[in-house]
């Protein structure tokens, strides 16, 4: 195509809210324009990138046996109420009330609609397995949209849903999607880590994220130093302390201390002359509708609510309200302690993190306003076993932790895909059942598989850019080759550039020619900015010797090649770049 | 592809609300499923059809020099307020209020967003002309969604917007789109009529609709009997009465008659022993914010608000409220008359339809509650000329009317596309200006061009179906050829069918094989239903003689061909069908 006939409004300045490289460069390269907070227009080049990504995704989904369909963006809210997910999404769900007063969700995802479809159309095991997908716009009412298209209110997602007769079938479907995702991201030319995850509000039994490690990412990946295991922060398991300290038989009895006007862990430590690692935090959570859970964490650690959720059997947990804390601890908020907790009728479960269980002695709240207790010995002053006591990993991993004996390292990343084994959560609540070979009705085993199309684009730029602009992978770049005729007044230059352009296009190469009447410097700058992988420069000087310049976007210097060989050489390099990705 | 691996849930029964053939057949053939009122899921075959249509549209837009982009579905309501169109759309616009209280329109169309984009990115005549388009989901909160995907709340539209330096440029852009639309609909294999239209709430100076004539259509097309001219009902001009009746010098003076308890034209006629064609209806309209307009229409005619809009210079018109009518006529609603209207300070304009101007004498309201006036002579008792009087066509065409001396015929149709010359309406209100060669700032001349993707699909079925099911045009059918191996237990049958399937696919034919283990009758029925243009039947009986059956969906009987020639023959027929469309 011709540069002069495309809207490619490259700019020098970027808005102040463009904090990350991909956001800045998408605007500078004329790929996107902001319409409102969290919504973007994709201009011709940006849209070409997205379309190429969508095509790769489509091909790999089709190859994996998934069937493409398209479900509405407007979804009856009743479906979301049936699964309880209207509440889970809360204010991030966009809703539209129509003129008849019916409430519609603007699809944030589509488990409900797909499962309802299968409930209606599938009745026999003979129709299973089935995997259906769509590539469609999704919506999230982000409180604070940012990082350009990385956290936007409107985005394109590929979402697939598999339905199987049993868990083994789900494993197969999940595995196929796992492998297809690897091929998608490989073909898109982005590096990624496969990260174990909890399935969070999606429900279900297992999940992995495909995350592109980069500094601009909002997610934290926790990896063993050998890279053999990675999990997100919510999931990341940690080894218990190497050896439990010897039970301190010589610790004096517990002693209550008056600690007025001290709120934070730090303040208590300062007041008592102790360290956060010697403190035991007692956190009161509610789990599900009615259970109260006490959670013990070392003072220098943070609780991990996903781990707590898993420890209570998948129920939604949140910190208890003040009234509950007061009732359970008998004190104002900030003074709860583990003593007597497990014996309280009110408290269904006491969860003790292994790092607390391993403490020889600690300081805790005294269950009495403005008081703490010292000389508290785990196992002596509160139980480490019993019917409603569990010693279990419920804290966030931190620097210095190990898993499987290997040191854990922390990285930032962008999640570009996630796959979930959902089990029967949706099929049960939405009636997606089938009759098995013995005519017994059973719920389908379902999986759900998402890819953020726009995030692949942004990730590619986060991974590939320099001071001059984008460095895009060959398979998703808006064009494969860009031709720069330096002097539009020279018939020889224009003629040769046009010949190369024509012949490359005929050879099936996706080629752009910068036919604008602008200075060479402008063409070079813009070419760097939009990041086409291969550039051919046709100039008077070179042509006098029958040469043109060929340069990969990543090369420091161009190679001079005979003009007559330029097409063949360029096509070969394009092929080589494609092989490499 | 393989039938057994596609979700094609054909059914016999259709829901009661499926009133038109395309709606019934889309459900019966397993192309779509309803999710809620006016929203549909496209299943694999239906989605293949839509994708083929979108690809044809994309190719023709690209060939016409338009550039594909993608703008958000969520659009700030402020843009719609700037052009006044929030009010124009009223309750049919879907709106979503986000968690920060900002109101977003769910795009019903995108003039505002595209024009704003051009306002920001185009500053010089050198950047013009430009034509940008997208293929994206649109929303309308229809009061009563119906006819399946024909009048739905969520649909896919191709919308293009051209920006030019002057009216001549707009004419060129409009002409290109006109021609591209013809190619699109030709390639999609649907018959259409190009219909002159008013541009309605879009504003602007000229518009044409592309309408598929069929009984299920909601639009009325008015055509001259020779087919040389077609307009929609809103636009359709009519000749004035052949000759004005001789001015009736002998008509007695006007006479007021007490007509208590008669409301409708019919009741007045019965009471006074006269005919609707002898009555003059006086309708009071408001035009724009403040103008009051009196419109005179013969009793047997209907007013045409689009024509009235044009007669008042493009202002939005609607029937006045009761208070205005009372003030202007001095009577309750139903008793307004033309006498003295033109002289009233309150009434800015008196519009007299030519059929009223041509009446010798008539009966009207008396501008007095419960009274009518007879012996009213146009030109004698109210003016037919003057500064604020216009004799102008303001009524609907009816059977029996002529235009240019040719009889008008009426047809129903489905609008599948519309093109508009918008002029400067949007560029002025949204600041899409450019500097011309003399550095003068001027507004862009804009055009807007829409195609209803889903409606092309439905129209194709309306035009192509029989008792057995769909008859789809080759370029948009889900597959070009379907192979039916009749006996899945016969190795010979399966082997030969699979060979033909493989070879056709290798020849680039889009082919489906019904590999299900079901009775032949089921395969035949389903094949008729989904309407693939060409069918190859491989059965034991034929194979014994080395033959298979080939049948176009439109053929009454199959042709027997040598199995070895089936691939070549089928490919040739596919090519022939493509040529024909």
Please tell me the distance from the alpha carbon of residue A143 to that of residue A133, in angstroms, as a whole number.
Answer: 28
* Residue that the structure tokens 């092929």 belong to: A575
Span B290-300, mean pLDDT?
94
**Which chain B positions have a beta carbon within 8 Å of A154's beta carbon?**
72-74
Torsion of Cα atoms, B296 then B302 then B305 then B306, to 10°: -110
User: What contacts A194, CB < 8 A, 6 or more positions away?
Assistant: A178, A182, A208, A209, A210, A211, A230
The values of phi and psi at residue B376, to 5°, are: -90, 125
The pLDDT of residue B244 is above 70 = no
Q: Does B250 touch chain A (CB under 8 A)?
A: no
Q: Does B15 touch chain A (CB under 8 A)?
A: no
Work out the minimum CA distance from B115 to partner chain A, whole angstroms.
12
Q: What is the pLDDT of residue A206?
A: 85
DSSP structural state of residue B92? G
Span B295-306, mean pLDDT?
95
Judge: B74–A6 Cβ closer than 8 Å, yes or no: no
DSSP structural state of residue A320? P
CA distances (Å), A232 to each of A199, A221, A418, in order? 11, 5, 12
Report yes or no: A202 and A211 within 8 Å, Cβ to Cβ.
Answer: no
The pLDDT of residue B236 is above 80 = yes
The values of phi and psi at residue B346, to 5°, are: -65, -30
The pLDDT of residue A15 is above 90 = no
Span A382-407, mean pLDDT?
94
Q: Does B166 touch chain A (CB under 8 A)?
A: no
Nearest to A98 among B75, B99, B141 (CB): B141
Which sign does the torsion angle of CA A357, A360, A362, A368 carry?
A: positive
Report yes or no: A569 and A547 within 8 Å, Cβ to Cβ.
Answer: no
Q: What is the pLDDT of residue B262?
A: 81
The pLDDT of residue A37 is above 90 = yes
**Which chain B positions have a beta carbon within 8 Å of A50's beta carbon?**
70
Judge: B40–A7 Cβ closer than 8 Å, yes or no: no
Nearest CA in chain A to B31: A69
Please tell me the distance from the alpha carbon of residue A390 to that of residue A344, in angstroms, as a whole number.
Answer: 15
Q: What is the pLDDT of residue B263?
A: 74
Question: Which of these, A440, A405, A447, lies nearest to A426 by C-alpha position?
Answer: A447
Confidence band (pLDDT; 50, 70, 90) for A345?
A: confident
Q: Does B512 touch chain A (CB under 8 A)?
A: no
Q: Does A108 touch chain B (CB under 8 A)?
A: no
Predicted-complex ipTM score: 0.92
Please tell me the distance from the alpha carbon of residue A233 to that of residue A398, in angstroms, as a whole number.
Answer: 9
Q: Does A153 touch chain B (CB under 8 A)?
A: yes
pTM exceeds 0.80: yes
Span B464-487, mean pLDDT?
97
Q: What is the DSSP string of A337-375?
A: -STTTTT-TT--EEEE-HHHHT-SSEEEE-SSTTEEEEE
**Which chain B positions have a beta carbon within 8 Å of A44's beta carbon?**
67-69
The pLDDT of residue A204 is above 80 = no
Q: Does B253 touch chain A (CB under 8 A)?
A: no
Q: What is the 3-state secondary structure (H, E, C) of B388-420?
A: CEEECCCECCCCCCEECCEEEEEEEEEEEEEEE
Nearest CA in chain B to A31: B69
Percent of chain A with pLDDT over 70: 97
**Which chain B positions have a beta carbon within 8 Å of A136's beta carbon?**
137
Nearest to B39 among A74, A137, A153 (CB): A74
Q: What is the pLDDT of residue A247?
A: 61
Span B186-202, mean pLDDT?
86
Judge: B50–A70 Cβ closer than 8 Å, yes or no: yes
Name residues 46-85 of chain B within 8 A of A (Cβ): 47, 50, 65, 67-76
Least confident span in A433-442, B251-260, B547-556? B251-260
Least confident span in A38-52, B4-18, B198-212? B198-212
Structure tokens at A331: 């004190």
Work out the minimum CA distance from B214 to partner chain A, whole angstroms.
27
Judge: A65–B117 Cβ closer than 8 Å, yes or no: no
CB–CB contacts below 8 A, A to B: 130
Please tell me the distance from the alpha carbon of residue B157 to that of residue B149, in angstroms, as a whole number.
Answer: 12
CA distances (Å), B288 to each of A152, B343, B443, in order? 40, 21, 23
Other C-beta atoms closer than 10 Å to the C-beta of A281 total 24
Percent of chain A with pLDDT over 90: 85
CA distances (Å), B176 to each of A391, A409, B163, in order? 74, 60, 13
Report yes or no: B540 and B493 within 8 Å, Cβ to Cβ.
Answer: yes
Nearest to B72 among A39, A43, A130 (CB): A39
Chain segment B396-430, per-residue pLDDT in tens: 999 889 999 999 999 999 999 999 999 998 999 99
Work out the minimum CA distance from B5 to partner chain A, whole angstroms.
8
Structure tokens at A83: 């699964």
* Residue that the structure tokens 């966030």 belong to: A396
User: What contacts A456, CB < 8 A, 6 or more positions away?
Assistant: A53, A185, A188, A190, A416, A476
The pLDDT of residue B327 is above 70 = yes
Q: What is the DSSP string of A460-492?
A: HHHHSEETTEE---TTTSS-SEEEEES-TT-HH
The pLDDT of residue A46 is above 90 = yes
Q: What is the DSSP string of B223-280?
A: EETTSS-EEETTT---PPPSSPPPP-TTPPPPEEEE-TT--SHHHHHHHHT--GGGBE
DSSP three-state, residue A547: strand
Structure tokens at B247: 């001015």
Span B549-567, mean pLDDT?
96
Judge: A76–B44 Cβ closer than 8 Å, yes or no: no
Nearest to B41 among A42, A70, A96 (CB): A70
Work out the minimum CA distance from A205 to partner chain B, whole angstroms.
27
User: What contacts A467, CB < 8 A, 6 or more positions away?
Assistant: none
Span A196-219, mean pLDDT?
83
Judge: A69–B99 Cβ closer than 8 Å, yes or no: no
Please tell me the distance from the alpha carbon of residue A27 to that of residue B422, in angstroms, as a whole number.
Answer: 30
Nearest CA in chain A to B113: A35
Least confident span in A199-203, A310-314, A518-522, B268-272? A199-203
Residue-averaged pLDDT of chain A: 94
Chain segment B376-396, per-residue pLDDT in tens: 999 999 999 999 999 999 999
Chain segment A226-272, per-residue pLDDT in tens: 999 999 998 999 999 865 556 667 889 999 999 988 878 888 898 88
Nearest to A121 among B9, B120, B154 (CB): B9
DSSP structural state of residue A378? B
Q: What is the pLDDT of residue A200?
A: 56
Work out the minimum CA distance from A101 to partner chain B, whole angstroms.
11
Judge: A74–B36 Cβ closer than 8 Å, yes or no: yes
């Amino acid at each position: 195509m011709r540069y002069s006939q495309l809207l490619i409004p490259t700019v020098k300045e970027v808005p102040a809210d463009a904090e990350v490289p991909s956001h800045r460069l998408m605007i500078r390269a004329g790929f996107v324009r902001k319409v409102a907070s969290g919504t973007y227009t994709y201009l011709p080049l940006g849209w070409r990138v997205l379309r190429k990504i969508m095509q790769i995704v489509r091909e790999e989904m089709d190859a994996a046996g998934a069937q493409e369909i398209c479900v509405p963006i407007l979804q009856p809210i009743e479906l979301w109420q049936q699964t309880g997910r209207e509440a889970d999404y809360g204010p991030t769900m966009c809703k539209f009330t129509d003129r008849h007063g019916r409430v519609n969700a603007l699809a944030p995802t589509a488990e409900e609609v797909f499962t309802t479809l299968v409930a209606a159309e599938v009745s026999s095991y003979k129709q299973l397995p089935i995997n259906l997908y769509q590539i469609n716009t999704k919506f999230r009412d982000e409180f604070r949209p940012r990082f350009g298209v990385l956290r936007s209110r409107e985005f394109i997602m590929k979402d697939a849903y598999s339905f199987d007769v049993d868990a083994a079938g789900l494993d197969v479907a999940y595995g196929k999607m796992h492998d297809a995702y690897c091929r998608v991201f490989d073909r898109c030319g982005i590096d990624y880590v496969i990260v174990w995850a909890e399935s969070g509000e999606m429900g279900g039994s297992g999940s992995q994220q495909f995350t592109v490690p980069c500094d601009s990412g909002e997610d934290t990946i926790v990896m063993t130093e050998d890279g053999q295991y990675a999990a997100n922060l919510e999931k990341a398991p940690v080894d218990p302390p190497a050896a439990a300290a010897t039970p301190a038989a010589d610790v004096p009895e517990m002693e209550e201390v008056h600690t007025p006007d001290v709120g934070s862990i730090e303040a208590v430590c300062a007041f008592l002359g102790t360290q956060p690692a010697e403190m035991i935090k007692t956190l009161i959570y509610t789990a599900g509708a009615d259970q109260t859970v006490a959670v013990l964490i070392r003072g220098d650690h943070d609780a991990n609510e996903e781990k707590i959720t898993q420890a209570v059997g998948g129920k939604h947990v949140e910190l208890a309200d003040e009234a509950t804390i007061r009732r359970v601890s008998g004190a104002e908020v900030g003074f709860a302690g583990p003593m007597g907790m497990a014996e309280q009728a009110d408290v269904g479960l006491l969860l003790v993190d292994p790092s607390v269980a391993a403490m020889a002695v600690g300081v805790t709240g005294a269950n009495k306003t403005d008081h703490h207790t010292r000389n508290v010995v785990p196992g002596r002053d509160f139980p480490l076993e019993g019917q409603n006591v569990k010693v279990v990993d419920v804290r966030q991993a931190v620097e210095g932790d190990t898993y499987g004996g290997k040191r854990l390292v922390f990285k930032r990343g962008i999640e570009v895909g996630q796959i979930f084994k959902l089990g029967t959560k949706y099929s049960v609540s939405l009636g997606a059942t089938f009759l098995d070979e013995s005519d017994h009705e059973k719920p389908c085993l379902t999986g759900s598989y998402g890819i953020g199309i726009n995030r692949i684009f942004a990730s590619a730029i986060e991974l590939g850019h320099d001071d001059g602009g984008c460095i895009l992978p060959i398979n998703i770049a808006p064009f494969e080759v860009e031709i720069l005729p330096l002097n539009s007044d020279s018939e020889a230059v224009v003629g040769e550039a046009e010949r190369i352009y024509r012949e490359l296009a005929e050879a099936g190469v996706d080629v752009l020619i910068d036919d604008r009447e602008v200075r060479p410097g402008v063409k070079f700058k813009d070419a760097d900015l939009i990041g086409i992988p291969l550039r051919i420069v046709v100039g008077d000087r070179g042509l006098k010797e029958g040469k043109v310049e060929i340069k990969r976007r990543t090369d420091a210097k161009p190679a001079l090649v005979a003009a007559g060989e330029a097409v063949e050489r360029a096509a070969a390099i394009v092929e080589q770049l494609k092989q490499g990705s």
